[in-house]
Amino acid sequence: MSNFDIRSRQKESVEILDLSGELDAHTAPDLEKEITTLIDAGKYNIIVNFTSLEYISSAGLGVFMAYIEELRELGGDIKLTNMKEGVYNVFDLLGFPTLYDIMDDEAEAVKKFNNASA
């Protein structure tokens, strides 16, 4: 069984998901459920903080692909922050930096959401 945890918190008008452990085929449904819960609650501006995420598989990447279009159609977005080099390399290999805002830190992502809604 994989070691994975999601913590959800709010900062200003943005929902932040702190991921830790390993995001793979076994744990991806947990992240899907969390994102679906946010969308159902009308919370469309989501930051995913990867500070404590050690590993991501293609199944984990698929979760982000599954929801990005829906969130953008609803006027929101997903911004990704604080990636370790190994995790970033997986995103980069698949061309994700052209599809997503990948930022060094969470404060920068919150600021970008707030500037977009101003």
β-pair partners for 80: 48, 102
Tell me: pLDDT of 2 over 90. Answer: no
12-46: per-residue pLDDT in tens? 889 999 999 999 999 999 999 999 999 999 999 99
Q: Is residue 117 part of a domain?
A: no
Q: Residue 112 has what DSSP assignment?
A: H
Q: Is residue 118 part of a domain?
A: no
The amino acid at 100? Y
Candidates 12, 24, 13, 88; CA nearest to 50 is 88
Strands 4-11, 14-23: parallel, antiparallel or unpaired by DSSP?
antiparallel
What's 77's domain CATH number? 3.30.750.24
Query: How many domains does the chain divide into?
Result: 1
Structure tokens at 14: 């943005």
The pTM score is 0.94
Structure tokens at 77: 């977005």
Tell me: pLDDT of 106 over 60. Answer: yes
Residue bearing tokens 């609803």: 74
